[in-house]
Chains A and B, each alone.
Chain A
Amino acid sequence: MKVLVPIKRVIDANIKVRVKADNSGVELNNVKMAMNPFCEIAVEEAIRMREAGTADEVIVVAVGPSQSQETLRTGLAMGADRAILIETDPIPEPLAIAKLLKAVAEKEDPGIIILGKQAIDGDNNQTGQMLAGLLNWSIGSFVSKLSVEGPTVKVTREVDGGLENIELVAPAVITVDLRLNEPRYASLPNIMKAKKKPLDTHTPEELGIDVSPRLEVLRVLEPPGRAAGIRVNSADELVEKLRNEAKVI
């Protein structure tokens, strides 16, 4: 079985983002970029499936500018077998990404598609669910446990009330949550090896997909600030402030 893992290049999770002075977006120039943390968990899970013998090939796919090749190479260094880049700049909206991924899925015929539940740039939390809808496949979203048992994919989902178990008919789309696994670091020899692994590039035009945006970003602003308040030095003082100053308890 093939596993398809769509991944995204985003601002490194440890970088504090800055809004551009002209309010057109956030500053991406000279900012450290990395693989979206949820995508790392998806890649890790796919590699573990291959190591366990459930999968025989792991393909990482990115939609984005040519620099997304670095992100794909990271996925290859972690252990993916080959990579596909759909080159497009800027990165399209989730619906267009889902359409591009559907085209790739129809060509590659994977048994399962595993992706991060959300990217930490747009925080949309849409692509996996949309892809499943377009393919008319089953969806396991926010997954913290995953096992493939013949034609059935068993998942545990992290939901607002706790955990939920769902059985999916394969092929399935899975979006992963934080606690599914802990992604490995790529070793230096594997980083070197990854440079020789195949990476194919396509364009939305080749796939016949219109990626024009439906949403217009009118402006991007800093959130309203929150100033630090005062320090207290005892329980008595804290309770007094909460009761009589803030009047909240």
Chain B
Amino acid sequence: MSILVIGEHDNAALRPSTLNVVTAAKALGSDIDVLIAGSDCRGAADEAATIAGITRVLKADDAALLDGLAENMAPLVKSLAGNYSHVLAPATTYGKNLLPRAAAILDVQQISDISGIESEDTFVRPIYAGNAMATVRSNDALKLITVRTTSFEASEFGGGAPVEDISGGINAQLSTFAGEELTRSERPELTTADIIVSGGRGMQSSENFSMLETLADKLGAAVGASRAAVDAGYVPNDYQVGQTGKVVAPNVYIAVGISGAIQHLAGMKDSKIIVAINKDEEAPIFQVADYGWVADLFEAIPQLEATLGSNAS
């Protein structure tokens, strides 16, 4: 088995999703190349080279690859795929955008969002918002797979793989990057945080969400939200946890004013400990919570902050 991992990065640095995908690759074989395709992406490539247990880093450095546009990236993936048995990418918005295009032009039926590996051709993946787990075997000679990052540990650094320059930048002239509005935050990233404080419709306004931010900062936590809170405009879209948002699996997930629709549970039910704070004792979130507190969040959150503040460890 030889495996190509499509590294996710911002040219300067690697994104942590790549580390989880490398771990999935290690379950398939030991010959693992990581592709860093970008522009002025030496920083990301050098960082990738230090991931323990990989064979090489392939660096494709070309202006056409600067923004990771799928139209320009997919032909590169296609040109490399012949050397591999598996091509893996993270099931992040980056991987989900790119890999199906590459799969289509390679005539491969991609396997999306795998959470388990049974053998080189057999994988487990959630369907129906995680309400069922399907085990599927691929009959394609080449496998293209996106990996659910929370289902695989992050690989460690400490290696020293060679970085090889490859060519392959193609500008398909189909699309242009025209700017981004990224959410800037000093808090941990949702998908890698140990603790998440998440709010729902019960928060009632974006001003009230700042209560959760204060609580999160006391705990060193990331802040998430249900779809209802994002739709209502309380917080930006990248806070959304759920079937169609981010999938998270922290040590503690504190759901505040979240009723617990199946679409939300799909994104957080692999958390180690779930805490639910909700004034409706019938809320479905209590059925999955390790610790449930039936309380008005506007009283509960200040009390929680006070308790954490008074006997901080």
**Which residues of A come within 8 Å of B, CB atoms?**
11, 13, 16-17, 19, 26, 38, 93-96, 98, 117-118, 120-134, 136-142, 144, 154, 157-169, 177-179, 213-223, 226, 228-236, 238-239, 241-243, 246, 248-249
Pick from A94, A124, A132 the residue with the most CB of B within 10 Å. Answer: A124
B167 part of interface (Cβ distance < 8 Å): no
- For chain B, give the interface size range: 35 or more
Minimum distance in angstroms from B87 CB to a CB of chain A: 14
- Asked if residues B273 and A161 are in contact (CB atoms below 8 Å), the reply is no
Chain B positions 194 through 217: 1 when the CB is less than 8 Å from some CB of chain A, otherwise 0: 010000000000000000000000
B178 CB contacts on chain A under 8 angstroms: 154, 165-167
- Asked if residues A123 and B175 are in contact (CB atoms below 8 Å), the reply is no
Minimum distance in angstroms from A126 CB to a CB of chain B: 4
- Asked if residues A123 and B113 are in contact (CB atoms below 8 Å), the reply is yes
Complex formed: what's the CA distance from A95 to B99 in Å?
12
- Asked if residues B104 and A243 are in contact (CB atoms below 8 Å), the reply is no
CB-CB under 8 A for A133 and B101, given A123-B127, A217-B135 = yes
- Asked if residues A166 and B177 are in contact (CB atoms below 8 Å), the reply is yes
Complex interface: stretch among B41-49, B57-65, B156-164, B283-291: B283-291
- Asked if residues A133 and B176 are in contact (CB atoms below 8 Å), the reply is no
- Asked if residues B291 and A232 are in contact (CB atoms below 8 Å), the reply is yes
User: Which 3 pairs, one residue from A and one from B, show the smallest C-beta to C-beta distance?
Assistant: A229-B290, A133-B104, A129-B100
CB-CB under 8 A for A94 and B175, given A117-B244, A241-B291, A242-B252 = no
What residue in chain B is nearest A230 (Cβ atoms)?
B291
- Asked if residues A138 and B231 are in contact (CB atoms below 8 Å), the reply is no
**Which residues of B come within 8 Å of A, CB atoms?**
69-71, 74, 92-94, 96-105, 107-113, 122, 126-140, 172-183, 191, 195, 219, 227, 230-231, 236-238, 243-244, 246, 251-252, 262-263, 269, 272-275, 286-294, 300, 303-304, 306-308, 311, 313
Complex formed: what's the CA distance from A235 to B254 in Å?
13
- Asked if residues B227 and A123 are in contact (CB atoms below 8 Å), the reply is no
- Asked if residues A95 and B132 are in contact (CB atoms below 8 Å), the reply is no
B291 CB contacts on chain A under 8 angstroms: 229-232, 238, 241-242, 246
- Asked if residues A168 and B174 are in contact (CB atoms below 8 Å), the reply is yes
What residue in chain A is nearest B183 (Cβ atoms)?
A162
Complex formed: what's the CA distance from A210 to B287 in Å?
45
- Asked if residues B101 and A161 are in contact (CB atoms below 8 Å), the reply is no
Residue in B126, B132, B252 whose beta carbon sits within 8 Å of that of A246 in the complex: B252
- Asked if residues B289 and A228 are in contact (CB atoms below 8 Å), the reply is yes
Complex formed: what's the CA distance from A226 to B231 in Å?
28
Pick from A159, A165, A217 the residue with the most CB of B within 10 Å. Answer: A159
Residue in A121, A165, A216 whose beta carbon sits within 8 Å of that of B179 in the complex: A165
What residue in chain B is nearest A99 (Cβ atoms)?
B104
A222 CB contacts on chain B under 8 angstroms: 132-133
- Asked if residues A126 and B292 are in contact (CB atoms below 8 Å), the reply is no
A sample of 10 more A-B contacts (CB under 8 A), given A136-B174, A162-B183, A249-B313, is A123-B128, A125-B100, A161-B180, A168-B174, A169-B173, A220-B135, A226-B274, A229-B292, A241-B291, A248-B195
B139 CB contacts on chain A under 8 angstroms: 214-216
Complex formed: what's the CA distance from A126 to B109 in Å?
9
Complex formed: what's the CA distance from A229 to B255 in Å?
14
- Asked if residues B252 and A165 are in contact (CB atoms below 8 Å), the reply is no
- Asked if residues A232 and B293 are in contact (CB atoms below 8 Å), the reply is yes
- Asked if residues B132 and A126 are in contact (CB atoms below 8 Å), the reply is no
What residue in chain A is nearest B115 (Cβ atoms)?
A223
